[in-house]
Structure 1
Amino acid sequence: MGAVTTADRDRAPKQDRSRATRQRLLEAAVACLAEHGWAGSTVLVVAERAGVSRGAAQHHFPTREDLFTAAVEYVAEERSGALRALFPEGAAQDRREVVSALVDLYTGPLFRAALHLWVAASNEEQLSPRVIELEARVGRETHRIAVDLLGADESRPGVRETVQGLLDMARGLGLANLLTDDRQRRERVVAQWAAVLDGALRD
């Protein structure tokens, strides 16, 4: 193995700084999108929130579409990881905990940001195919996580549709939560869906 050069030592901190800058930009983009919507979330606004120059932002993400699709994907992956971390052993004994965790996935800043991105994609031809592809991938991953955590056997008739119905319900609760604090009703719905799943998934 060759000796480590000064250039090698300099390169590592530079790469670390670059990764840190990219992450700050992604987090700032999601926060801006959730708070201000698509129209109010320019590259300049995001760069200022992240504490970097506009040029540095465009170095990492040449276009606005690059920035926001990457930001929503980044947080989606973070939330998927956090969801799996809640149940490190896989399938949970208490399905209500799983249903509650899945609903939380759709009531946080990620869903609010994603919703703004969907609305923008419906009017932006350049953005639309990228968001559709991203959402399809995130949707498949969320479905796989739900199946694993619920211990669902999708070879049984109706089980796949039941899991998909759970995710559709969670998305609907997320939409309702955008306008009002829907926590009390949401807790009752979560309890009912957990009971439905216990019946539908019982061996």
Structure 2
Amino acid sequence: MATPHEPKQDRSRATRQRLLESTIDTLAETGWAAATVAVVAERAGVSRGAAQHHFPTREDLITAALEYMFDIRMAQAETEARSLRRIAEGVGRTEAVVGSLVESYTSPLFKAALQVWTHAAADPALRERIVPLEARFGRVSHRMAVGALGVDDSDPVAHHLVQATMDLARGLGLADVLTDDSARRKEIVAQWAKTLHAELFGLRSATAEVTPPMPVGQRSVTGPT
């Protein structure tokens, strides 16, 4: 049975979500300087007083927006990882995983997060708030990439190759901030996927198939005695 408080609580949650989504959109489209409580509130269609009721300071608003971005990014990554695991094993799946990681760093969510990272570099208090969030996101993203690729993360070579792939994805995302880098990015993804697949799977298979030579003293000799 519904209680008298539920409609008000629902409105409060909806208001909070609109503010968080407006913060992300403002950061991604117009940058850090424009993402004030007043601007975000106007964009969300909320009074400044109502916005400050949910988020008393700009730092509170930005931190909450980052947490909200984290939840969205994780939900998207989980959905993508399930889809990728349905692709038959092979270089095609590896390329799909690499492509998915790279595209996640060209999204509006990444562009919004980048604005916060840049400002946090000169703001120790903000940096202290967001570093744990990004570290957590990095760990979860790494784990999902490992699962989608189907590799053993306890193998240090595999671990570092997956991490290198994530670093590559982040770098390609940065390259896309100022100009459309999609054509070059597609070529790099295809080439890196082949290299990654060979390192993770091809060389291992080749090693397993090679029969080591017998010691000289044990080699059979054919021919007349």
Could you state the TM-score of these two structures normalised by the residue count of structure 1?
A: 0.91
Give the letter aligned to residue 198 of structure 1. H
Q: Is the 8 A contact 2:81 2:144 kept in 1?
A: no
Equivalent in 16, 19, 40 of residue 34 of structure 2: 40
Question: Structure 1 residue 39: deviation in Å?
Answer: 1.4
Question: Structure 1 residue 48: deviation in Å?
Answer: 0.6
Q: Is the 8 A contact 2:24 2:112 kept in 1?
A: yes
- The 5 Å alignment of 1:141-152 reads 141-152=140-151
Q: In 2, Cα distance between the equivalents of 1:89 and 1:79?
A: 15
Q: Which runs of 5+ in 2 are unaligned?
A: 205-225
Q: Tell me the percent identity.
A: 54
Question: Structure 1 residue 179: deviation in Å?
Answer: 0.9
Match of 1:132 in 2: 131
Q: In 2, Cα distance between the equivalents of 1:71 and 1:190?
A: 30
Question: Structure 1 residue 90: deviation in Å?
Answer: 6.5
Greater shift in the superposed pair: 50-59 or 82-91: 82-91
Number of aligned residues: 197
Greater shift in the superposed pair: 89-98 or 135-144: 89-98
Q: In 1, Cα distance between the equivalents of 2:8 and 2:46?
A: 15
Larger gyration radius, structure 1 or structure 2: 2
Q: Is the 8 A contact 1:99 1:190 kept in 2?
A: yes
Could you state the TM-score of these two structures normalised by the residue count of structure 2?
A: 0.82
Q: Is the 8 A contact 2:31 2:115 kept in 1?
A: yes
Question: Structure 1 residue 83: deviation in Å?
Answer: 2.3
Question: Structure 1 residue 89: deviation in Å?
Answer: 6.1
Q: Is the 8 A contact 1:76 1:110 kept in 2?
A: no
Equivalent in 86, 95, 98 of residue 80 of structure 2: 86
Q: In 1, Cα distance between the equivalents of 2:124 and 2:69?
A: 23
Give the letter aligned to residue 145 of structure 2. A
Q: Is the 8 A contact 1:65 1:127 kept in 2?
A: yes
Give the letter aligned to residue 13 of structure 1. P
Q: Which runs of 5+ in 1 are unaligned?
A: none
Q: In 2, Cα distance between the equivalents of 1:191 and 1:49?
A: 40
Q: In 1, Cα distance between the equivalents of 2:132 and 2:81?
A: 28
- Could you say if the C-alpha distance between residues 90 and 108 of structure 1 is closer, same or farther in structure 2, counting changes exceeding 3 Å? closer
Q: Is the 8 A contact 1:27 1:71 kept in 2?
A: yes
Q: In 2, Cα distance between the equivalents of 1:96 and 1:20?
A: 39
Match of 1:59 in 2: 53
- Could you say if the C-alpha distance between residues 144 and 87 of structure 1 is closer, same or farther in structure 2, counting changes exceeding 3 Å? closer
Residue 164 of structure 2 is aligned to residue 165 of structure 1 = yes
1:143 alignment partner, SS class: helix
Match of 1:188 in 2: 187
Match of 2:22 in 1: 28
Question: Considering only aligned residues, what root-mean-square deviation do their CA atoms show, in Å?
Answer: 1.6
Q: Is the 8 A contact 1:72 1:110 kept in 2?
A: no
